[in-house]
Amino acid sequence: MSTYDPAALECLAAIVEEGGFERAAQRLNVTQSAVSQRLRALEAQVGSVLIVRSRPLRPTSAGQLLLKHTKQLRLLRADLERDLQELAPSAHGGGREEERISIAINADSIATWALDALHDLVRQRLPLEIIADDQDFTQEWLRSGQVLGCVTTLKQALRGCKMVPLGAMHYVAVASAWFAEKHLPGGLTAHNFREVSYLSFNRKDDMAAEFVARAFGLKRVALNQLFVPSSEGQLHAVRAGWAVGVLPELLVRAGLADGSLVDMAPGRVLPIQLYWHCWNLESEVLDTLTQALTEAAGRTLEA
């Protein structure tokens, strides 16, 4: 089996992660010509094109395999750094750009419970990179080898990966007190839900439509949507009276308690089950990540 140059592998990863040759060169502190030469040498060794020169750049199937291999090497280095740190506490580990440990988490988890789960690991200088995406799509980052773990709604584990249930995040439909009084004084019903707009993260996000459909026993609904790609941003927009938001109960609990927000469908919640998926490897870093996320989820999410 061929042995691949770690510098060339990190060059490939930098091109994909930074989205281009110029930014990859800046990150690696080399010339753009050197980046191109390393990539060509790696492609010659593999015997296949590794990068599709499109907008944006994307790895080929062979490129994805090498990218996953590079992430695994980073994980091994991170494990070594932790072991060395225990032997020599005065040495500061981590921090190099090419040693980043990448995971994909849905934005609502980032806004509510996940950052608290990772706090101690970051204080221990774990070079963490969190990629935010819709909870139904975070697994694609794991499938492509761009992250080593993800929080997702999908239960089925990928080949070579393991899955741990985290719990359910409860979503409720809320609006500002002003918006509710003006537009829906009696709350949301099966007859008036089309009269208002709803906030969504992006065009992939069907949370609001799923909430309405389940709440009123409908098979399919079409809603007027406004797109705000941030959980905190959606909460801000709801408070400003833009629209109805279907948001995590964890995020709106304080607003409901002080009366600034109104539950537009009292007693109706949409439970979204979350799972942690990661590579099935022997790794102290992975085990620590898994433990931190599952313990925090156990304290915060519904069983």
CATH number, residue 69: 1.10.10.10
Would 227 be classed as within a structural domain? yes
Q: Supply 141's token pair.
A: 């980052």
Would 159 be classed as within a structural domain? no
CA gyration radius, the chain? 22
Number of structural domains in the chain? 2
The Cα–Cα gap between 201 and 111 comes to 13
Task: Tell me how crowded residue 266 is: count the other CB atoms within 10 A of its CB.
Answer: 11
DSSP 270: E
CATH code, domain carrying 261: 3.40.190.10
The Cα–Cα gap between 66 and 58 comes to 13
Beta-carbon contacts of 187 under 8 Å, excluding residues fewer than 6 positions away, are 180, 262, 263, 264, 265, 266
pLDDT digits (tens, 9 = 90+) for 35-44: 999 999 888 8
Task: Pick the last residue of a domain from 56, 75, 94.
Answer: 75
Would 190 be classed as within a structural domain? yes
Nearest to 64 by CA among 79, 54, 49: 49
- Give the phi and the psi of residue 245 in degrees, each rounded to 5: -120, 135
Beta-carbon contacts of 86 under 8 Å, excluding residues fewer than 6 positions away, are none
Would 13 be classed as within a structural domain? yes
Would 253 be classed as within a structural domain? yes
* Per-residue b or e along 89-106, where b marks 16 or more CB atoms closer than 10 Å to that residue's CB: eeeebbeeebbbbbbbbb
- Cβ 103 vs Cβ 142: under 8 Å: no
Beta-carbon contacts of 136 under 8 Å, excluding residues fewer than 6 positions away, are 152, 153, 154, 204
Number of separate helices (H) and strands (E) present in the chain: 12, 11
Please report, in tens digits, the pLDDT of each residue of the chain (303 residues total).
568 888 888 899 889 888 889 988 998 889 999 999 999 988 888 888 888 887 778 888 888 888 888 888 888 877 777 666 665 544 444 445 556 788 999 999 999 999 999 999 998 888 899 999 888 889 998 888 888 899 999 999 988 889 999 999 999 999 999 999 999 999 999 999 999 999 999 888 899 999 999 999 998 898 999 999 999 999 999 999 999 999 999 999 999 999 999 999 999 999 999 999 998 888 888 899 999 999 999 999 998
pLDDT digits (tens, 9 = 90+) for 71-81: 888 888 777 77
- Cβ 106 vs Cβ 276: under 8 Å: no
Would 37 be classed as within a structural domain? yes
Would 83 be classed as within a structural domain? no
65 lies in which domain range?
1-75
Would 38 be classed as within a structural domain? yes
Q: Say what the pTM is.
A: 0.76
